Amino acid sequence: MSLLDLYVEHCGAEEVKLLRQMGEMLEGLRLVHVNSTRRGGGVAEILERLVPLQRELGIDSSWEVIEGDPDFFEVTKAFHNALQGRRQHVSDSMIAAYEAANLRNWTAMRDKLEDADFVFIHDPQPAMMASLSTARRGKWIWRCHIDASNPDRKVWRYLAGHVNHCDAAIFSLPDFAQPLDIPEFIIPPAIDPISPKNQYISPEECERVLESLGIDLKDPSHLVVQVSRFDRFKDPLGVIRACELALRRVGDLRLVLAGGGADDDPEGAAVLEEVNRCAERLPFVKVLLLPPDAHMAINSLQRSAQVVFQKSTKEGFGLTVSEALWKGKPVIGGDTGGIRLQVLNQITGYRVQTPEGASLRLVELLNNPRERERMGRAGRELVKEHFLITRLLRNHLSLMLALQA
Ligand code: UDP
């Protein structure tokens, strides 16, 4: 049995057949993905699953990670924050650090990238490579995973100067598309239904995994979870506040905030400290710092929760939302970016603006198991229809075929 056959039960035999047919037209071509971390965050999560599928189709797909010093990741985090609309000072020396790191990485990767048939540059970190390339064979695509709907204009203009050297750009939502000289496409991200993070595991197995993390599912009986990097845009303090308010009404609940760092996110430690400080005085909150490969722990948490939060104030997509919906859980999500595609109000969960609003929705859901079940079923259907990796793979194949023509 081939890897793709394992997806038939989730997306159907026709879809797998179509993927194979499209793959045949791209067989043997060299595709290189470039991003800035192999572990942590949604981009790494997707590439880890997408590259083997592309290879399974006969495409010579590989994944390169650029290296940088702390100065570089300070700048790229500032770019990230600025693209997501936060006021951010970017000085000339920060730009110089960004450009120096890109130049260094370019020297190491140049031959491979110039020789590839397709290069996917993910997010701003390696974007400058597009303007460094002068003798490329293939088509270059900039893949923006960020909510760029309201970017800092100065930072956007700077990055666009590099991105315009690509042949196309992909955004996750039409709302994020920005003025560029190159064709733009919309492709939302997706989750892998057969990955260790999303595959079925039994309630007994979940209980065993959670027990090993010090979580007893029977006491208290309500489990509420948010899985996220420790990032202010994910609003972990808002989730704590929402649960603190809800606890007064429902009597008992446990909130688990599970997260880890990403190699390219230098702010994680400071945010984790803020969260720990806040959680210290609240015994119902458990902060779990997980290693990047804790897929079974995350799977078990999402599967065992009654309600899953993703209360972001900005969110490119939020794979964690589809991960929870796929496991039949209603999601209370921030009313922003990619969460709007996945949390359909009153259908797959509730979109909220404030911790107070979130707490009201949480109480409602905790008191109403039938609603939770109804939303959970709708959520799984939504993900099956729109947010599985087979659809993402198909979109990528279509784009490559179109650019090649
Ligand atoms: N994730 C993880 N461990 C953590 C925190 C997050 O494996 O400690 C995973 C999470 O399950 C999801 C991805 O990292 O698959 C995060 O992607 P998302 O799009 O939700 O957010 P991003 O981190 O890219 O902003």
Looking at residues 384-397, what average pLDDT do you find? 98
Structure token pair of residue 241: 């506040």
Q: Locate tokens 């197995």: which residue?
A: 205
Q: Mapping DSSP to helix (H, G, I), strand (E, B) and coil, where does residue 171 land?
A: strand
Handedness of CA 141, 146, 147, 148 (dihedral sign): negative
Nearest-angstrom CA–CA distance, 381 and 375: 10
Token digits of residue 127:
């974007």
Structure-block tokens of residue 333: 């999500």
Q: State yes or no: pLDDT of 261 exceeds 80.
A: no
ipTM higher than 0.85?
Answer: yes
CA of 55 to the centre of ligand 1 (A): 24
Q: What is the pLDDT of residues 134-169, one digit of tens each?
A: 999 999 999 999 999 999 999 999 999 999 999 999
DSSP state string for 140-159 = EEEE--S--SS--HHHHHHH
Using most ligand atoms within 8 A of CB, pick from 229, 264, 317, 383 the residue to mutate for ligand 1: 229
Nearest CA to ligand 1 atom 6: 228
Contacts of 293 (CB under 8 A, 6+ apart): 39
The stretch 176-184 carries a mean pLDDT of: 97
The pLDDT score that the predictor gives to residue 219 is: 87
Query: Cβ(46)–Cβ(86) under 8 Å?
Result: no
Ligand 1 atom closest to Cα of 260?
8
Rounded CA-CA distance 189/337 in Å is 12
Comparing C-alpha atoms, which of 334, 290, 292 is closest to residue 310? Answer: 334
Q: Please compute the mean of the pLDDT values over residues 120-144 and round it to a whole number.
A: 97
| Exposure on the CB side of residue 196, measured as CA atoms within 13 A | 10
- Considering only CA atoms, which residue is closest to atom 13 of ligand 1? 42
The whole-angstrom separation of Cα 54 and Cα 34 is 15
pLDDT digits (tens, 9 = 90+) for 189-247: 999 999 999 999 999 999 999 999 999 998 888 999 999 999 999 999 999 999 999 99
Question: Best substitution site from 143, 198, 319, 336 to test ligand 1's pocket, by max atoms within 8 Å of Cβ?
Answer: 319
Per residue in 309-365, pLDDT tens? 999 999 999 999 999 999 999 999 999 999 999 999 999 999 999 999 999 999 999
Q: Give the confidence band of 267 by pLDDT, cuts at 50, 70, 90.
A: confident
pLDDT of residue 262: 75
